[in-house]
Amino acid sequence: MMIWTNMAIPNGLFRTLTFEVATAGVNWTNLNEEIKESGLFLPLDPSPKALIGGVVATNCSGTNALRYGTMKDYVVNLTVVLADGSIIKTRHRPRKTSAGYNLNSLFTGSEGTLGIVTEATLKLAIIPDSFSVATATFPTIRAAADAATKMIRSGVPLAALELMDDAQMGVVNKNGGAGGRMWQEKTTLFLKFSGTKSSVEDNVRLARHVAKAFRCNTFEAATDQKEMDSLWAARKQALWASLAIRPEGTQIWSTDAAVPISRMAELIQACKERAEKLGLVTSVLGHVGDGNFHQMVMYDPRSPEQVQATKKCVEIMMEKAIEMEGTVSGEHGTGLGKKHCLLKELGPETIGLMRAMKNTLDPMWLLNPGKVFDE
């Protein structure tokens, strides 16, 4: 792995620095480990196994997107192999540019359908001085979602704002708890704060104030690293807990949607009600600060009724997200499974434009064919 650092530039809250990643196969956690002495990091938080090439191809994000944005915000230039075998570089290394079309944003998130990213020059963010983590439990999912919306609207500066519903907290407990403890099986908000020591303290106070106004049952905050890890553990292990405790032979269908934050509580509520009516075991887990959440549905692939009900449940979530002027994917991408939803979301003209671009860049549909939309 070749990394080459040469400049630090500020960008909003965080200082950024460009560096060059020699190959797309660099793991982002290894990268952050390697550069930590510089005081800088790539602030996305996707799966620990993700590689830079994949992070670019999917416009990755995660729990830090609320504060730091998604991968598109960190790409300075890309080296891309096109379908005809030619190799292009999208740009040099200026911090700001208005020269030509924005090819960085075209390739970032194109799911490998337009070219193969082999190299990236990236911005980095400065590692904040101080952190805090807090959790708050609520009597209802509505109260938790409304509290989350209020924190966002009133401008409490948060680094992350995640929600897990009572069912998901139950899953964590069934798996033996997390962070060395068992958890209340109530809808829980997980909050992260970062900045200077005094600003972190101020912001925890503001968040506690909002949580109380929405009748939170508990509000716990920690600044000690061990306690922070313990408080964040339930969130961190949520997906693995779901996979670990499912009865043998069952599968988890994990999907996501994103809507304007004003509609988020309503969407989560509606999805949970419909899932219950369909007799499904589901849980909700979300980057609610971005109006983006995941629904995890457990189903037995050997039962045609359960498969049918699960598909129906996901379809309803997608339709409602579209009705609410949202998107059928906040961060999971389109792939094969959501092609028909994307068509509904954007309409045939907009998809037609994307397809025309695909035809131009890859006329023989060699690159990840059949993803995002049909030929």
Sequence-distant (6+) residues with CB within 8 A of 155 are none
- 127 contributes a contact to its own copies by CB under 8 A: no
Question: Under DSSP, is residue 262 helix (H, G, I), strand (E, B) or coil?
Answer: helix
Binders of its own copies among residues 242 to 271 (CB under 8 A) are 258-262
Identity of the residue, 202 or 229, whose beta carbon is nearer to its own copies in the bound complex: 202
Q: Which of the ranges 14-22, 171-179, 219-227, 273-281 carries the binding residues for its own copies, by CB under 8 A?
A: 14-22
Identity of the residue, 261 or 309, whose beta carbon is nearer to its own copies in the bound complex: 261
Q: Which of the ranges 25-33, 44-52, 155-163, 235-243 carries the binding residues for its own copies, by CB under 8 A?
A: 155-163
Binders of its own copies among residues 327 to 346 (CB under 8 A) are 327-334, 338, 342, 345-346
Closest approach, Cβ 275 to its own copies, in A, equals: 22
Identity of the residue, 64 or 237, whose beta carbon is nearer to its own copies in the bound complex: 64
Q: Which residue, among 165, 340, 318, 322, has the nearest Cα to 255 in the 3D structure?
A: 318
Identity of the residue, 93 or 181, whose beta carbon is nearer to its own copies in the bound complex: 93
Question: What is residue 342's DSSP assignment?
Answer: H
Q: Tell me how far apart the terminal alpha carbons of the chain are, to the nearest angstrom.
A: 37
- 326 contributes a contact to its own copies by CB under 8 A: yes
Q: How many CA atoms lie within 13 A of 267 on its CB side?
A: 34
Identity of the residue, 39 or 48, whose beta carbon is nearer to its own copies in the bound complex: 39
Closest approach, Cβ 261 to its own copies, in A, equals: 5
Identity of the residue, 76 or 169, whose beta carbon is nearer to its own copies in the bound complex: 76
Question: What is residue 27's DSSP assignment?
Answer: B
H or E stretch at 67: helix 65-68
Query: How many chain residues bind its own copies (CB under 8 A)?
Result: 93
Question: Under DSSP, is residue 47 helix (H, G, I), strand (E, B) or coil?
Answer: coil
Q: Which residue has the tokens 């693995």?
A: 240
Closest approach, Cβ 263 to its own copies, in A, equals: 9
Q: Is 45 exposed, middle or buried (0-12, 13-18, 19+ CB in 10 A)?
A: buried
> How far is residue 261's CA from residue 44's CA, in Å, rounded to a whole number?
21
Identity of the residue, 62 or 179, whose beta carbon is nearer to its own copies in the bound complex: 62
> How far is residue 21's CA from residue 26's CA, in Å, rounded to a whole number?
7
Closest approach, Cβ 30 to its own copies, in A, equals: 24
181, two tokens: 């403890």
- 314 contributes a contact to its own copies by CB under 8 A: no
Report the C-alpha dihedral over residues 313, 314, 319, 321, rounded to 10 degrees.
110
Closest approach, Cβ 352 to its own copies, in A, equals: 8
Binders of its own copies among residues 46 to 105 (CB under 8 A) are 58-59, 61, 65-70, 72-73, 82, 86-105
Closest approach, Cβ 250 to its own copies, in A, equals: 27
Binders of its own copies among residues 352 to 371 (CB under 8 A) are 353-354, 356-357, 359-361
324, two tokens: 């609410």
Q: Which residue, among 289, 171, 322, 306, has the nearest Cα to 250 in the 3D structure?
A: 306
Closest approach, Cβ 59 to its own copies, in A, equals: 5
Q: Which residue, among 80, 184, 324, has the nearest Cα to 90 in the 3D structure?
A: 80
Residue 59 gets the label, from left (phi > 0), alpha (psi -120 to 50) or beta, of left
- 158 contributes a contact to its own copies by CB under 8 A: yes
Binders of its own copies among residues 273 to 312 (CB under 8 A) are 287, 289-292
Identity of the residue, 48 or 94, whose beta carbon is nearer to its own copies in the bound complex: 94
Binding mask 15-44 for its own copies (x = CB under 8 A): x--x--------------------------
Closest approach, Cβ 276 to its own copies, in A, equals: 26
Among 36, 153, 181, 209, binds its own copies (CB under 8 A): 153
> How far is residue 61's CA from residue 331's CA, in Å, rounded to a whole number?
7
Full DSSP string of 222-259: E-SHHHHHHHHHHHHTHHHHHHHHSPTT-EEEEEEEE-
